Structure 1
Amino acid sequence: MYTLLIIDDEPIIADGLYEEFKHYRDERGLAMDIYRVYSGKEALRMLAERKVDIVVSDIRMPGVDGLELLRRVRMSWPACRVIFLTGYREFEYAHEAIAHGVARYILKTEGYAKVIEAVEEMKREIERGLQADALAAEAEQKLQLAEALQRRLYLTDVLHGLAPTNGEELDRFGAQGATLRADKPVWLAAGRFDQPGFHDRFPTYETRKSAMETALLLGERYLSPRADCAGIIAESGTLVWLLQPPVGEAVFADDFGPFLRGMLETLQNACRQSLNATLSCAASAEPSGLSGLPGNYANLCGILKYKDGLSANEELLHMGRNGARDRSTEETIATVKAYAERHLHEDISLVKLADLVDLNPTYLSRFFKQHTGLTLSDFIQEMRLERAKQLLADPSVRVQDIAVALGYGSASNFGRSFKKLMGQTPQEYREEAFK
């Protein structure tokens, strides 16, 4: 699942790009979540809440301009790609960003097709990077086998409550290959390759072991920029990462939860791209002390065991919340439908729907289609269409008001979408209904 963020302080440009990318995504069946905002300030709020893979932004905006936005993007999501939209008079300004090698620019006169082409190239760059990361991790893991064995034995005992957790003894045992600090919280994440496809793809013990070691090191690589990370392969092939605040920081930053979720999703993408295998992941709701690790670990193992009953090749990404509980299939579908019906006037985000039911966005999308026969996008579109017909039946309701009430933003966007589905404009439909 890729996330695209469109930023422009001119709504007509942001809305136009948003609609073009939505049509392109739906026609190609792309796994892409699309957002639009109308200022750099709004963009910074979104970047603090969730992982963004590609940004398409106007380079000249009031308040937070393109270069400041670029700096903040690199701090929050270093792998994020940025495309600037610029005019001829802004070329020198854009060139300053390009010189840093972290962004591209497109002249506004080049049209939607050029922007779509650039985003597709950014996606290919991301995928090539994931494959390169996997090859580097595979080479690195061959140099760490002896240390990994010691670390596995020690951390496995920690997870089962068998290792000491007071400071002095912890320091002594930690010298065996993995350091934990007794006075710092720990965030726990776990993953497991889905069966039976994993055994079909890696039929021998050695090939399975190598794939798991590669995934383990990839996880450490993606998570280490924001946390001190130690990973092991525990019993039953479960991959486990123990995360503590970096040295010098007492606690995790407030936005570490969204970062953890984003990096686990990146890890899943890397495993699909480089290993052709699906990895399900689960993470604790919040950090705990060392004494809470055995309980948290048992809970995550239970979540991953539940995945065995799900369809093959559909990975799970579960980020538990306080008070969260398992939902039945019927309850999950009903929750998603009810939320969509109440929020037809908004941009209904797949990420938001997935958060409601504690599932990975990509998995929720497949899960919903498997059990309803419709993609989430088609379902929401059908709901909006039926609601539009009801509102058009009332001649006192303006078409512009209907567009706003159904989340289209403008009458032109609503009219284009309605005509594509119905073969006639909203006004033509209304006139025909009152003949």
Structure 2
Amino acid sequence: MGGRLSGGPTMDESWKSDLEQWLAPFLGALRHKVRARMCPAYVAGLIGAGERKSIQPMAARNGEVGYDQLHHFITSGVWDAAPLEKVLLAEADRMIGGAEAWLIVDDTALPKKGERSVGVAPQYASALGKTANCQTLVSLTLASGEVPVMVGLRLFLPESWTSDPARLARAGVPDDHAGYRSKPEIALAEIDRARTAGLRFGCVLADAGYSLSASFRQALSARGLTWAVGIGARQKVYPADVALVFPVSGRGRPRKNPVPDATSVSAEKTLATARWRALSWRRGTKVPLRARFAAVRIRVADGPPQRIGAMGQQHLPGEEAWLIGERRSNGERKYYLSNLPAGTPLKRLAGAIKARWICEQAHQQLKEELGLDHFEGRSWTGLHRHALMTMIAYAFLQSRRLKQAKREKKKPGSAAPAHPAGDPRGHHRQARTVTENTMSALP
């Protein structure tokens, strides 16, 4: 879609003009004339042409803003990112927020050489499928239909960093982030930040890397949130009708604490005899994506631990939830838990657990197209400001995708929406063809 628009300016001039207008709330939050010049220049540099999206090549391509100015803005300028993060959440909510939206928790790795860049350490990188020297960012993605908007990226600090005060000080890590926090703990703090800002969503999604922690699932429930998360095949569960009883013994003292009247078994074994159904959850590039699914109501074995006879320490029944299984065509089997209501249809459950894929697309596009992993500084502040600018750039591009989809829908002869007017799911399905490649409308 390069070249000139009909009767108007070039595409390059068009998107830059749109960007200046779209950034107005962000520039207002900066409250500084010079910074209000640097922010559009940085975001435009991330979006524009050029393979490398680090500060020096972006400044060279800009021609109007110097390297020193951009570098100071990102790495050492005295300004608070929180107001801009709040504006980003508001814009994301305005675009796709609501009861049909998902809030997806995940993380993404930024491969790095050396040991000076903040948070860098040998750690597992899911995108690479192996342990590598990298930084890990915990991410929050708001998604509706097939439209993702990244709203949070926060650095995870391994214990090799949090146990070294000199290293933390050298990288400028703020005191309130210097203590060790697990990825689930960081994710919960980010969810709280998003909710405080008024972000609307219907369900939290996360992979097993987060939900293997019972405390993460329990914290989501304690906040009154609906969730659907991955688990391991060995996760223990009880039947949904399990009860706590006081067994009567002919000898010894009466029991002080009740015990379950059923034994907990693994998720894999629980679903082995369940009824499995072939379902399609969305259309791929050529054909519908299909797999076999099964779901049963259970009680998760993540309550307080207690000794139960010869079995020793066992977790008591916790929250009632759905146990969901997926059998893929390649023979792989996956397992999930969800606290969606008891009457939820299997197709809805399958759609929830498979909706998480869109955040991986967002990670890829932020890296390949917007230079999320191109930042060459070493400081905490610089990395997070660069990440924030990439999220702002991505949100701007998604706003253009949605506007383009809306124009396409209004064209005479265009197909009728798949959902009633006013239903956001239909609106976002129309956007699908332009969100699959986020950069398709730019030169």
User: Which one has the bigger helix percentage?
Assistant: 1
Tell me which interval the TM-score lies in, with the shorter structure as reference length: under 0.3
Of structures 1 and 2, the one scoring higher in RCO (CA 8 A, sep 6+) is: 2
Q: TM-score, normalised by structure 1?
A: 0.23
